[in-house]
Amino acid sequence: MRPAYILGIESSCDETAAAVVRSGEHVESNVVSSQIATHQPYGGVVPELASREHLRGILPVVRQALEEAHRTYDDIDAIAVTQGPGLAGALLVGVTYAKALAWALAKPLIAVNHLEGHIHAVLLEEKQKGNREVSFPVLALVVSGGHTHLYLAQEHATGSGRATWTYQNVGQTRDDAAGEAFDKVAKLLALGYPGGPIIEKLAAHGNARTVEFGRSRMKTRGKIRGKRLQAAEPGAARFDFSFSGIKTAVLREVERRGMKTAVEARRAKLARLTRPTTEQTLAACERETLDLVASFQRAVVDDLVSKTLAAAQTLEAETLFVTGGVAANRALRAEFERRTAAEGLAVYFPSRQLSTDNAAMIAAAAYPKLLAREFASPEFSAEASLALR
């Protein structure tokens, strides 16, 4: 079969990204322009600023992606863009740009669900390693700053003899996403933005057994186990998450231990630095903070792993995918690996680079749609709360 080149475009949150992927598995370029510096002073993504930065970044990022791939617009077979879910204004920049480009070049346009993109980041890299046989059903945990979703994925043959995937949502967060909890806890402890990577690094220096956040959450796990026993009713089991409670619990600990003054001193100290390094942040942290973040990370990791494995057992999943920004977390990976090894369940993660938002995953997810000629209509638009089915 002739190779197919897809130009992927992603702008759903705070990264403007473009990539060229050949035949759904060879990444010829993967350019990600991060807006971290813009949002850092606010301790979180400011939607209006995100849209403005996407507008500024999209053209240079697409050009760089083509240049790095040594391709021109003529070589491109299709343009793929994230339709949703995400920030409405941010998505609109990518969608409008992709539509205009597709129209001007007379190339097909493919709309991709961002969450399917994260799932395809795993597939893309497994194919690169030569692992083409995935056993279904696949249970995918998509865990990022905006999502903590569990999908049961099945493969279906289409009329054209090609396989496509369908997804059933079997769990999600009822409030904050796991990555959001990392970001909010980092903000309240004055550790900087985004919270995940810095908490991961600081947690390595703390004692994770200092604070027992996990205890109250055990009850939820118990309920899920209970559901497992009744799993005779298909579709009845739900494996929902909740991460707003732990953020409040961290705040309570800060108050209870009288850490507020130390937190504010750190905030003032780090505010004087343009972009504090991990070493500078670490130097500004007393032992109590390190123990607190280590305990927080342990509780979140334990909750994500326990519920996902309970879902995998109940739903008789053959394979587990863990993807999205939080999947970059080494403690999460290690815990999944340790506990799936005991159960004999295959677990796959994307590389850390493809865990966070990127456009290679969007181009990869578009490839089966190109083969099935599933193109977006010219009227399609961005959808902030697009569901994955």
* Site for ligand KG4, rule CB under 6 A: 13, 144-146, 179-180, 182-183, 194-197, 200, 324-326, 328-329, 356-357
Instruction: Say if CB 98 and CB 128 are below 8 A apart.
Output: no
Least Å distance, CB 241 to ligand KG4, is: 14
Least Å distance, CB 294 to ligand KG4, is: 13
3-state SS record for 324-375: CHHHHCHHHHHHHHHHHHHHCCEEECCCHHHHCCCCHHHHHHHHHHHHCCCC
Residue 197 binding target from ligand KG4, Zn ion, none, CB below 5 to 8 Å by type: ligand KG4
Q: Which is nearer to ligand KG4, 204 or 372 (CB)?
A: 204
Q: Is 230 helix (H, G, I), strand (E, B) or coil?
A: coil
Least Å distance, CB 179 to ligand KG4, is: 3
Instruction: Say if CB 23 and CB 4 are below 8 A apart.
Output: yes
User: Within the chain, where are the H helices?
Assistant: 36-39, 47-68, 88-105, 114-128, 178-188, 195-203, 214-229, 244-256, 260-271, 278-283, 287-314, 330-343, 352-355, 360-371
Least Å distance, CB 163 to ligand KG4, is: 26
Least Å distance, CB 376 to Zn ion, is: 20
Q: Which is nearer to ligand KG4, 89 or 325 (CB)?
A: 325
Q: Which is nearer to ligand KG4, 28 or 180 (CB)?
A: 180
Q: Which is nearer to ligand KG4, 165 or 296 (CB)?
A: 296
Q: Which is nearer to ligand KG4, 295 or 314 (CB)?
A: 295
Q: Which is nearer to ligand KG4, 35 or 340 (CB)?
A: 35
Least Å distance, CB 302 to ligand KG4, is: 14
Residue 145 binding target from ligand KG4, Zn ion, none, CB below 5 to 8 Å by type: ligand KG4
Instruction: Say if CB 167 and CB 388 are below 8 A apart.
Output: yes
Structure tokens at 263: 């937190």
Q: Which is nearer to ligand KG4, 198 or 371 (CB)?
A: 198
Question: C-alpha 300: how far from its chain's center?
Answer: 15
Least Å distance, CB 127 to ligand KG4, is: 21
Residue 82 binding target from Zn ion, ligand KG4, none, CB below 5 to 8 Å by type: none
Residue 121 binding target from ligand KG4, Zn ion, none, CB below 5 to 8 Å by type: none
Among 379, 371, 378, 372, residue whose Cα is nearest residue 1 = 371
What single-letter DSSP state applies at residue 241? B
Q: Is 26 helix (H, G, I), strand (E, B) or coil?
A: strand
Least Å distance, CB 331 to ligand KG4, is: 8
Among 333, 374, 364, residue whose Cα is nearest residue 162 = 374
Q: What torsion do the CA atoms of 52, 55, 60, 62 make, to the nearest 10 degrees?
A: 130
Structure tokens at 248: 């409040």
Residue 28 binding target from ligand KG4, Zn ion, none, CB below 5 to 8 Å by type: none
Structure tokens at 181: 């909890």
Q: Which is nearer to ligand KG4, 76 or 112 (CB)?
A: 112
Question: Interface residues with Zn ion (CB under 5 A)?
Answer: 144, 357
Residue 43 binding target from Zn ion, ligand KG4, none, CB below 5 to 8 Å by type: none
Residue 193 binding target from ligand KG4, Zn ion, none, CB below 5 to 8 Å by type: none
Rounded Cα–Cα distance for residues 208 and 294 (Å)? 4
Residue 179 binding target from Zn ion, ligand KG4, none, CB below 5 to 8 Å by type: ligand KG4
What single-letter DSSP state applies at residue 74? G
